[in-house]
Amino acid sequence: MRLFLKEIRDLKETEVEIRYKEKDTEVENLVSAVNSVSDRLPAVTEGGDNVLLIVSKILYFDAVDRYVFAYSADDVYKVRKTLYDLEEEYASRSFVRISKASIVNINAVRKISPEEGRRLRLLLTNGETVIVSRGYVSGFKTAIGMKGDA
């Protein structure tokens, strides 16, 4: 694959053109990656302000006391969707379920370490750690391209 970038100052918005000989998995992944950059998710700040989050900047989602929160590198936001809805909507955008209450952006994972009880500890780009429950290890490994058991 070759990549060409061209700056055109009089464009009203960024355009992306993908040329391919055959629409294979690589092309589909590329389209998904480009689409995920512009995805926005409505959320609420701690102060009660409504904002639109850039989905690719979310590190993980976590459900606490019947509320779902989105964690970015700097802030926490309340989201008005269920984890199930988020998992379904963003599965093709590098998000994977890691426990009953959490979904992680695999692009935010810096390090993976084994943990007791066949679990995994994930170090995220902001220094936080999250745990992959043993029931979700297989799905997580499949999502990141690892095979086999912990």
Q: pLDDT-based confidence at 150, cuts 50/70/90? A: very low
Q: Cα 22 vs. chain centroid, distance in angstroms? A: 27
Question: With 70 as the cut, is the pLDDT of residue 38 above it?
Answer: no
Report pLDDT digits (tens) over 71-108: 999 999 999 999 999 999 888 778 999 999 999 999 99
What total number of domains does the chain contain? 1
Q: How many angstroms separate the CA atoms of 29 and 34, rounded?
A: 9
150 inside domain: no
How many C-alpha atoms does 116 have within 13 Å on its Cβ side? 0
Q: What is the CATH number of the domain that holds 65?
A: 2.40.50.1020
Q: What is the mean pLDDT of residues 13-39?
A: 82
111 inside domain: yes
